[in-house]
Amino acid sequence: MSKAPKLRTPFYNPDLSYDQNYDQGPFGDFASEEIWQPKQPPRFQFLGQPLDFPFGIPAGPLLNRKFTHAAFRLGFPVATYKTVRRHAHPSHPYPNVMAVKLDGDLTIEKAQQPLIADTTYEQPLSITNSFGVPSQAPDVWQADLNLAVQDARPGQLLIGSFQGTSKGEGVEAFVEDCVETAVLVAQTGAKVLEMNLSCPNEGTSNLLCFDIDRVEQVVKAVKAKVHQPLVLKIAYFVDQAQLVEFVTRVGALVEGLSAINTIPATVVDRTGQQALPGKGRAVSGVCGHAIKWAGLEMVQRLRELRAQHNLQFAIVGVGGVTTVADYQEYRQVGADLVMSATGAIWNPYLAQEIVSTEGVV
């Protein structure tokens, strides 16, 4: 195990609201003017796009072009613009990010018990995030995303993330919302799109990625309208039979699968009260160091299934990457691209550290 790096000033400030971060961020060294230049031309590829090396920041922490621009300046080859919706959608109230106190891995069993959260951020860092996937209106985010796409120099890639909004208006309306949102993202010129399936499904309380009939329907409808490579962002699957079904039914329809999003758990403060105030926020997603095991395991399972079923999709490994060694571990188990959210927020130099290591893999 490599030594846990010291935590730097986070580029997303958990002491401020989402709107304050959107307007005033990014912070710390993401706010500097520093421009890091690669020492050699791009040596890797991801879905046909040249990459300096297969590493980046997944959907979430990069709230707008100011954030994606900073990520590119500091040498992250891939920057994902935070998930957008078809209509403006407010964020859950502050706080949206808190540190989660965990000893070791957040296993699925441990995630059934309440976890304690506070505002002291320490290594090994795990956090909970609860935003409700806020979005600007498309006229705002399309213009901003278009500029963000153009900021990528050769060897860098901007991914446009989106999701459908479940409004209780029926399945057809939900599918149409997914398709229309995908089209709006495609119009910005983003070369790769990612659809977040770890989001509420229409008409059920379960996540969309666990309703494979619905996923197949949505993906086919999106692919009929959008021609850019499409990556699906999925949660941790406990049930291997369900993952086999997902991969065999959807794996040939898309260009990539990204795993994982967060692991949900009940989060309380030290007095046992709900830590994040408001209805529907007793349970929130946990990410960072304690979920690395789950991301690594999903990458391994996806790689085996891809080989067994002769499929071609690329695998994006996400979850708990905070060190160069974590990146290498994901590459060794088969990730074609590795992403870090929590780790990158608290270490703006993570990409530079990875590429300066002898023999970046």
Ligand X SMILES: Cc1cc2nc3c(=O)[nH]c(=O)nc-3n(C[C@H](O)[C@H](O)[C@H](O)COP(=O)(O)O)c2cc1C
Q: Site residues (CB under 6 A) for ligand X?
A: 12, 58-61, 82-83, 97, 129, 131, 133, 161, 196, 233, 261-262, 287-288, 291, 318-321, 340-343
- Smallest distance from the beta carbon of 345 to ligand X, in angstroms? 6
Residue closer to ligand X (CB basis): 165 or 340? 340
Residue closer to ligand X (CB basis): 166 or 196? 196
- Smallest distance from the beta carbon of 275 to ligand X, in angstroms? 15
- Smallest distance from the beta carbon of 71 to ligand X, in angstroms? 13
Nearest in space to 346 (alpha carbons), one of 129, 156, 15, 121? 121
Residue closer to ligand X (CB basis): 50 or 293? 293
CA distances from 361 to 57, 238, 289, 302, 330 (A): 17, 29, 21, 20, 10
**CB-based contacts of 34, cutoff 8 Å, min separation 6:** 73, 74
Residue closer to ligand X (CB basis): 68 or 342? 342
Residue closer to ligand X (CB basis): 294 or 305? 294
Residue closer to ligand X (CB basis): 170 or 277? 277
What single letter denotes the amino acid at residue 313? F
Residue closer to ligand X (CB basis): 161 or 188? 161
Can you tell me the distance from the alpha carbon of 82 to that of 89, in angstroms, rounded to the nearest whole number? Answer: 13
- Smallest distance from the beta carbon of 199 to ligand X, in angstroms? 8
- Smallest distance from the beta carbon of 278 to ligand X, in angstroms? 17
Name the CA dihedral angle for 230, 186, 162, 306, rounded to a multiple of 10 degrees: 0
Residue closer to ligand X (CB basis): 65 or 233? 233
Contact of 287 with 262, CB cutoff 8 Å: yes
The secondary structure of residue 332, as a DSSP letter, is: H
- Smallest distance from the beta carbon of 24 to ligand X, in angstroms? 16
Token pair of 329, please? 């571990």
**CB-based contacts of 356, cutoff 8 Å, min separation 6:** none
Token pair of 250, please? 């959807």
- Smallest distance from the beta carbon of 343 to ligand X, in angstroms? 5
Can you tell me the distance from the alpha carbon of 361 to that of 344, in angstroms, rounded to the nearest whole number? Answer: 19
Burial 193-210 (b: 16+ CB within 10 A, else e): bbbbbbbbbbeeeebbbb
Can you tell me the distance from the alpha carbon of 14 to that of 91, in angstroms, rounded to the nearest whole number? Answer: 14
Contact of 57 with 80, CB cutoff 8 Å: yes
Residue closer to ligand X (CB basis): 251 or 320? 320
Nearest in space to 120 (alpha carbons), one of 269, 259, 286? 269
- Smallest distance from the beta carbon of 310 to ligand X, in angstroms? 28
Can you tell me the distance from the alpha carbon of 163 to that of 277, in angstroms, rounded to the nearest whole number? Answer: 25
- Smallest distance from the beta carbon of 339 to ligand X, in angstroms? 7
